[in-house]
Structure 1
Amino acid sequence: MSFYSIYIAFNQDPEVPPLELGNIMEPAPIPFSFDTTGWKVLFVVLVVLCVYLLYRLYLNFKHNQYRRDAVAEIVALNQDAKLPELEFITKSVFILKRTALQSYPRESVASLQGNDWIAFLDKTKRDVNFSKYKQDIANAVYCETFNNTNFNKEEFFKMSLKWIKNHA
């Protein structure tokens, strides 16, 4: 027995009958409806948010078009079995340079050549090692000669592809 019930038992007047409260009166249930103003505001906010997200996705898609184009070009170069290594290297380096000009400041990229260009490629993307092919690139691009039998076209292609996809 609780303290409150003991208090009531001692202090209740014996001549007054105990209080009968009866059944609890519950209000009628509120019907659920989407017709209220809050739902309309929420709907408008969600629509605006979805439109904004779609717009941002579209801008991102358009911004990365140069990557998709470069990937398609370098894949086409790799699939051309008749293309000699000299042209493959020259065209690949041209694609890499054009791609770099799209995403890095022109002042810092356009003037790069030779060892500085190779160092830039290695510095801007980890897990690539263009300096391994430094001499082959220099001979192909600047001297228009190629005489290395140890050149791994597939590895150079994969490095170029990785750099284009993940450079920035």
Structure 2
Amino acid sequence: MSRALLVPPDSSGQLKPLQELPLPEAVSYAPHTIGWVFVAVVLLAALGVAIWFGRRRHEKQRYRRAALIELESIEASLASTHADREQRANALAAVPRLIKRTALVIAPREQVAALTGGEWLAFLQRTRGRFDARSGALLALASYAPPEVVAGISDSDAAALIGHTRDWIEHHHVEV
């Protein structure tokens, strides 16, 4: 069947004056009332404030990221199969120094610098640390014992000390 047979012929000419229906105008995305402009300004301001606070928080946590990188370096030094006793002792002795330096960033020097022994352990526990008597003794041993004694710390004790240190660096908080 051809297409010509399906379309009826306009023999009377009545269809010629008809025109195509006009399409409606495109809808504008611009707000039509001042209220939507106000909402947009408030949302943009809120977004700007959120970005500002996020960047500020990121900058304030820079010391934490640096401490974690240094702790990973210490951990890699301990895990090295080529590590001798002196290198092991130096790596373990670096852990208490790292904790003290990190604490000096977050709390006033007058409060933290002179802390030792039980007071230091109490400070670490108060600032959300999981240091117990055993890990506190390991910290004191790593800080003050001769290198040959520090090198004798067992692998499991060293791993526990590294774990407690990582947890404290990631989660500590000092009330100001």
Contact 2:138/2:161 (CA < 8 Å) preserved in 1? no
For residue 114 of structure 1, the aligned residue among 117, 120, 125 is: 117
Counterpart CA distance in 2 for 1:68 and 1:59 is: 14
- Alpha-carbon distance, 1:130 to partner: 4.5
AA in 1 matched with 2:46: L
For residue 74 of structure 1, the aligned residue among 50, 53, 71 is: 71
Counterpart CA distance in 1 for 2:137 and 2:164 is: 16
In the alignment, which residue of structure 1 is the partner of 2:24? none
Q: Deviations over 1:46-105 (max 9, x none)?
A: 101100000000000000000000001101110122274422222111111111111122
Secondary structure of the structure 1 residue equivalent to 2:114 = coil
Counterpart CA distance in 2 for 1:85 and 1:120 is: 27
In the alignment, which residue of structure 2 is the partner of 1:124? 127
The answer as to 2:39 corresponding to 1:37 is no
Secondary structure of the structure 1 residue equivalent to 2:36 = helix
The answer as to 2:89 corresponding to 1:86 is yes
In structure 2, runs of 5+ residues without a counterpart are 1-26
Of structures 1 and 2, the larger Rg is shown by: 1
In the alignment, which residue of structure 1 is the partner of 2:22? none
CA RMSD of aligned residues (A): 2.3
Contact 2:135/2:160 (CA < 8 Å) preserved in 1? no
In the alignment, which residue of structure 1 is the partner of 2:139? 137
In the alignment, which residue of structure 2 is the partner of 1:48? 45
- Runs of 4+, deviation exceeding 6 Å: none
In the alignment, which residue of structure 2 is the partner of 1:164? 169
Counterpart CA distance in 1 for 2:108 and 2:54 is: 24
CA distance 1:66–1:166, shift in 2 (3 Å):
same
Q: Deviations over 1:99-125 (max 9, x none)?
A: 111112221111112332223223322
The answer as to 2:99 corresponding to 1:102 is no
- Alpha-carbon distance, 1:157 to partner: 0.8
CA distance 1:149–1:65, shift in 2 (3 Å):
closer
Range moving further from structure 2, 140-149 or 54-63: 140-149
Counterpart CA distance in 2 for 1:120 and 1:102 is: 14
In structure 1, runs of 5+ residues without a counterpart are 1-30
Number of aligned residue pairs: give it.
137
Contact 1:122/1:131 (CA < 8 Å) preserved in 2? no
In the alignment, which residue of structure 2 is the partner of 1:153? 158
Contact 1:121/1:130 (CA < 8 Å) preserved in 2? no
